[in-house]
Every structure is written in structure tokens, then in C-alpha cells.
Amino acid sequence: MEIFANLGVFLVVYGPAIVLGYLLGSIPFGLVITKLAGLGDIRAIGSGNIGATNVLRTGRKDLALATLLLDAGKAGLAYFFCIWGAAAYSGQYTADFTPGYYHSLGLIGGAAAFIGHCYPVWLQFKGGKGVATFVGLLLAAEWPVGLAFCAIWLLTAFVFRMSSLAALVATLTAPVVAYWLNPLGDGYIVFGALAVLIYWRHRANIQRILAGTEPKIGGEKKAAEAAADPPGSTG
């Protein structure tokens, strides 16, 4: 019976955080933004993904940036809402409040937002790949880890010119950096679990990287320009 009692405690404590986080994460901002802009269904464009990278394929950098920020913000909001809500409910929220005990609750809420983004119920559980939402959680929960992620992404993208490879390398290092900074915390455990899911969501990209066929940053634009003005054309 003890296992059922522990399960009941878990659901009471973490259940609201999971529900709130999932619902926030399941908002498909990429799809909503492109439809409001009159660009149709983003799932019928490019890779069919609802994330910022595919929104960029519409040629609208502003919409891609908005999608990136909103997708990242979902996990950050879930993290802070869960912490603030629990603290306020327990009467411990004050002007000098710090996450402390509620950090784990915020991590669960942020992780649920990540799951909601990848598997939104509104889109038949076919969502994004979770990188932006993952970064949002890193920056909100353990900002040095988030900054390290961004730095590694930029460096890898600059060297190899592949967004997917940069995301995979940065994702792999996130739980390592989190453990190095705080081996007694639980952030690295959550980040590690989400990293596994990110790699699973990128399995097609990994196959193309290994085959040498993964598109490079700016490669699609160059291909489009070459098709519009092929060699030998007189204009």
C-alpha cells in the first residue's frame, strides 16, 4: 500500500505542475503565427515541423524569431509558474523569495512543457523537436547551463554550418555542464532525460548527417538562387 500512498503524494504535488506545463507547451506557436500571417499551414511547408527552423523556410525571419522566443518561453513560464504558484499556495512567496525547495517542481513543470511541445494533443501528438523549449527551460532553471548551450550551439553552427548538428552537440553537453556545476542537484537528471528525447526526435537528421546529406545553414537559399539563375543563363 505504501507505493500507492507515494503515488498519491506524487500526483498531488506534481500533478498540477505536469498539467500546467503540458498545456503551456502544447500551444503550437509556429502553426498559429504562420496562419495569422496568411502563410497557410506550416506543416505543409519544408520539413512539416512546427518549430522556428521550419518557419524560417517561409522566408519570414521575424516570424521565425517570434516562434523561437515563444517556444522557448513556454518552458520558462511553466518553470516559474509552478514555483511561484506552489510558493504562494504555501504562503512562502515573499519579495526575497528564491526557488530553493521548489526547484524540482519547476523542473517537472518545464519538462512537461517540453513534452507538450513535442507531443501536443491538439495536433494528434505531432509537434516540434523541442530544442527551443529545451533552451527555455535551461535558461529559466539553471541559466549558466543555458548560456553554455547557446555558446556551444553558436560555435558548432559556425564551424559546421548545420543547425541540427549544433543543436545535437549543445544538447549533449547540457546535462554534463549541469552535473559539473551542481552534482548534487537534480537538474542534470531532467536535462539528460530530455536530451535523450531530443536525439530521438532528430533521428532522421542524424541519419542525414551521417550520410552527408543534411542541409547546411544558407544552403537552401543558395540552391533556390541557383535554380532561379542557372549557369549559362543570359538573364
pLDDT tens across 17-73, in order?
A: 899 999 999 999 999 999 999 999 999 988 889 999 899 988 899 999 999 999 999
| Residues of the domain holding 75 | 1-127
118 and 6, same structural domain? yes
Task: Note whether 104 and 156 are same-domain residues.
Answer: no
* DSSP state for residue 190 in the 8-state scheme: H
| Domain membership flag for residue 71 | yes
Q: What is the pLDDT of residue 17?
A: 86
Q: Is residue 135 part of a domain?
A: no
pLDDT score for 166: 97
For residues 36 and 115, membership in a common domain is answered with: yes
pLDDT, position 89: 67
Q: What is the pTM of this model?
A: 0.86
How many CA atoms lie within 13 Å of 33's alpha carbon, on the beta-carbon side?
23
User: 524540482: which residue's cell?
Assistant: 104
- All residue ranges of the chain with pLDDT < 70 are 1-13, 89-101, 219-235
* Boundary-marking domain end, from 82, 100, 127: 127
Within-domain flag for 205: yes
Q: Three-state DSSP class for 98?
A: coil
- Environment class of 213 (CB within 10 Å of its CB; exposed 0-12, middle 13-18, buried 19+): exposed
Identify whether 27 is part of a domain: yes
| pLDDT score for 5 | 46
The C-alpha angle 47, 69, 173, rounded to 5 degrees, equals: 75
Same structural domain for residues 106 and 160? no
Q: Do residues 32 and 104 share a domain? A: yes
- Domain finish residue from 72, 104, 127: 127
How high is the pLDDT of residue 143? Answer: 96
Q: How far is CA 74 from CA 23, 77, 91, 97, 108, in A?
A: 9, 5, 25, 22, 13
Instruction: Specify whether 16 is located in the same domain as 65.
Output: yes
Do 121 and 147 fall into the same domain?
no
Output the pLDDT for position 222: 53
